[in-house]
């Protein structure tokens, strides 16, 4: 099957992406790893007028761990988590869950943020982010805001993003900073 026609943009700067998405409003979609979006386009479940490919925006590649928090940028792939000694040692639940995601080809391409945004009820990452008391960092051209994971997920295949917004990073508190899902 083939998708309906759409305009395609592949900006190198985050601000440019946010401006394009802001202009497009409800007619725009972000393309990250494409493992969820492309089937939806091909089946015509979604028919956006415009797709913004974020893969050339280098600032979205960050994966950083410190003693309190793991920060996962919008282009961090499932496989990047599994290659990270910080994640494997410090965030073992995240490692265990990521190992269950599909197979290697999907894990090499699909992003953690894409899985969060797609919010398939069968997916591993949304429930892990909620369980770990994580935070979703959202950007639009008007600025940034942060939502607790449990506020981000609004229902099956849906989330709290407003038109023109995208997720730029996720934050996972260090497990030792949590007691029953609450920050110490
Ligand atoms: C054969 C197959 C098997 C799979 N098996 C599993 C599995 O076992 N477990 C599992 O959890 N997942 C599974 N997946 C899904 C996989 O994990 C995808 O990687 C994930 O769902 C989407 O990530 P992506 O980067 O490919 O996102 P994309 O496909 O690029 O995008 C998915 C959706 O999120 C939006 N989006 C993406 N990034 C952003 C962003 N930064 N801001 C705003 N919106 C954004 C897109 O617009 C789109 O609506 C499978 C996929 C396939 C094809």
- Residue range 22-58, pLDDT digits in tens: 999 999 999 999 999 999 999 999 999 999 999 999 9
**Do 129 and 170 meet the contact criterion of CB atoms below 8 Å apart?**
yes
Give the binding-site residues of ligand 1, using a 6 Å CB cut-off: 29-37, 74, 101-102, 106, 110-111, 113-115, 117-118, 123-125, 161, 166-167
Model pLDDT, residue 15 = 98
Q: What is the DSSP letter of 121?
A: T
| Statement: residue 67 has pLDDT above 70 | yes
Q: What angle do CA 40, 77, 31 make, to 5 degrees?
A: 35
Q: Which residues of 102-135 are buried (b: 16+ CB within 10 A; e: fewer)?
A: eeeeebebbbbbbbbbbbeeebbbbebbbebbbb
> Which pLDDT value is given to residue 179?
58
- Say what the pLDDT of residue 1 is: 76
Ligand 1 mutation pick, 103, 113, 118, max ligand atoms within 8 A of CB: 118
Position in ligand 1 atom list of the atom nearest CA 168: 41
Residue 177 is predicted with a pLDDT of: 72
What's the pTM?
0.95
The pLDDT, as a whole number, for residue 182 is 58
Average pLDDT, the chain: 95
Q: Comparing C-alpha atoms, which of 153, 149, 145 is closest to residue 171?
A: 149
Q: Which pLDDT does position 31 carry in this prediction?
A: 98
Residue 176: pLDDT band by 50, 70, 90 thresholds? Answer: confident
């Amino acid at each position: 099957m083939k998708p309906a026609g759409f305009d395609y943009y592949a900006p190198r700067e985050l601000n440019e992406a946010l401006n394009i998405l802001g202009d497009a409003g409800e007619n725009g979609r972000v393309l990250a790893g494409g493992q969820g979006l492309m089937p939806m386009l091909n089946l015509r479940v979604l028919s956006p007028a415009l797709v913004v490919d974020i893969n050339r925006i280098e600032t979205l590649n960050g994966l950083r761990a410190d003693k309190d928090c793991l920060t996962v940028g919008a282009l961090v792939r499932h496989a990047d988590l599994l290659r990270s000694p910080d994640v494997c040692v410090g965030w073992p639940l995240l490692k265990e869950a990521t190992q269950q995601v599909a197979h290697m080809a999907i894990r090499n391409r699909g992003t953690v943020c894409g899985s969060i945004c797609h919010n398939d009820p069968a997916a591993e990452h949304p429930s892990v982010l909620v369980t770990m008391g994580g935070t979703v960092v959202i950007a639009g051209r008007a600025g940034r805001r942060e939502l607790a994971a449990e506020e981000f997920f609004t229902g099956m295949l849906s989330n709290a993003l407003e038109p023109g917004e995208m997720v730029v990073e996720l934050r996972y508190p260090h497990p030792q900073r949590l007691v029953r899902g609450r920050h110490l």
